[in-house]
């Protein structure tokens, strides 16, 4: 019996080593090779295989996106149990509806849309609202007229790259995000963190594009204000000499 250790030390001719392993009844190297292959397989191929009944392919898609879906849900809902529930619902729903996924959007966008709907349902439930009409809770129109103007304006002391390297920045980012109204937070997360287009974010949340843009602007401005009050250099603060020009 060839041990797993020997298998993992397989030389470059992986194919022949895998055959030897199989010949002795050991499947570990074959399994490792399959896992390595599946890890680099494009989404579209995995989706096709999952549609044909390949659970490994669906689990590979899950492995690929579970952290992202969980992160989105946790940032949206700020409660670990709810985030776990939403993550599970998202993948169960994706499994159930995979047959109807036509590939018009990427698989990740489709998945994030499902996760957003699940998160919206949790929010509605928290507010004691009817969970069957999502749009009602989210489609209140925002307008540019009521956008608050920037108040604390200053250059930052450090670049984002320097800040990202510091662990303590995450707390500041989470706190600032937590201060946003949910409807603004969700748009910001989908557009700026997950990289969806405005159109995709609007579709995911059941909003008009115009409304999504206003919410995104509000979110960006509020986060800028919060972060600049901590990260801005007071000595490089800029004060408007006139209200508008």
Partner 1 sequence: MKCAELLTSLNEYVDGTVDPAICEEFEQHMAGCNPCQVVVDNIRKTITLYREGRPYRLPVECRQRLHSALRERWAETHLTGGPAPS
Work out how close the CB of 195 gets to partner 1 at its nearest, in angstroms, rounded to a whole number.
Answer: 8
* Comparison of 28 and 71: residue with beta carbon closer to partner 1: 71
* Comparison of 2 and 34: residue with beta carbon closer to partner 1: 34
* Comparison of 134 and 212: residue with beta carbon closer to partner 1: 212
Work out how close the CB of 163 gets to partner 1 at its nearest, in angstroms, rounded to a whole number.
Answer: 6
Strands (E), the chain: 153-156, 232-238
- Sign of the C-alpha dihedral computed for residues 80, 82, 84 and 90 taken in this order: negative
Work out how close the CB of 9 gets to partner 1 at its nearest, in angstroms, rounded to a whole number.
Answer: 27
* Comparison of 44 and 164: residue with beta carbon closer to partner 1: 164
* Comparison of 10 and 185: residue with beta carbon closer to partner 1: 185
DSSP structural state of residue 104: S
Work out how close the CB of 91 gets to partner 1 at its nearest, in angstroms, rounded to a whole number.
Answer: 6
Work out how close the CB of 169 gets to partner 1 at its nearest, in angstroms, rounded to a whole number.
Answer: 7
Number of helices (H) and strands (E) in the chain: give both, helices first: 13, 2
Site residues, partner 1 (CB under 8 A): 52-56, 58-59, 62, 66-68, 70-71, 74-75, 80, 83-84, 87-88, 91-92, 95-96, 144, 147, 149-150, 153-156, 159-161, 163-164, 169-170, 173, 177, 188, 192-193, 195, 198, 213, 216-217, 220-221, 223-224, 227-228, 232, 238-240, 243-245
Q: What is the DSSP string of 120-188?
A: HHHHHHHTT--TT-HHHHH-PPP-GGGPPPP--EEEESS-HHHHHTSTTHHHHHHHHHHTS-HHHHHHH
3-state secondary structure 203-226: HHHCCCHHHHHHHHHHHHHHHHHH
The answer to whether 28 and 7 have CB atoms below 8 angstroms apart is: yes
* Comparison of 38 and 134: residue with beta carbon closer to partner 1: 38
Work out how close the CB of 98 gets to partner 1 at its nearest, in angstroms, rounded to a whole number.
Answer: 10
DSSP structural state of residue 102: -
d(CA 133, CA 139): 11
């Amino acid at each position: 019996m060839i041990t797993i250790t020997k298998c993992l030390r397989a030389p470059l001719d992986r194919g022949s080593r895998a055959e030897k392993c199989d010949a002795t009844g050991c499947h570990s190297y074959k399994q490792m090779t399959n896992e390595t292959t599946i890890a680099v397989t494009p989404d579209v191929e995995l989706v096709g295989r999952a549609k044909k009944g390949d659970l490994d392919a669906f689990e590979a898609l899950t492995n690929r996106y579970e952290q992202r879906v969980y992160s989105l849900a946790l940032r949206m809902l700020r409660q670990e149990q709810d985030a776990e529930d939403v993550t599970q619902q998202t993948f169960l729903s994706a499994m159930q509806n995979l047959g109807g996924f036509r590939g018009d959007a990427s698989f990740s966008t489709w998945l994030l849309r499902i996760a957003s709907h699940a998160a919206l349902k949790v929010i509605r439930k928290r507010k004691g609202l009817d969970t069957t009409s999502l749009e009602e809770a989210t489609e209140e129109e925002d307008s540019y007229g009521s956008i608050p103007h920037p108040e604390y304006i200053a250059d930052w002391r450090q670049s984002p790259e320097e800040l990202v390297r510091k662990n303590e920045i995450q707390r500041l980012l989470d706190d600032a995000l937590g201060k946003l109204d949910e409807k603004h937070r969700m748009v910001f997360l989908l557009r700026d963190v997950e990289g969806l287009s405005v159109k995709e974010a609007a579709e995911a949340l059941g909003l008009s594009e115009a409304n999504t843009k206003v919410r995104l602007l509000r979110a960006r401005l509020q986060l800028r204000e919060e972060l600049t009050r901590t990260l801005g250099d007071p000595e490089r603060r800029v004060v408007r000499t006139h209200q508008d020009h």
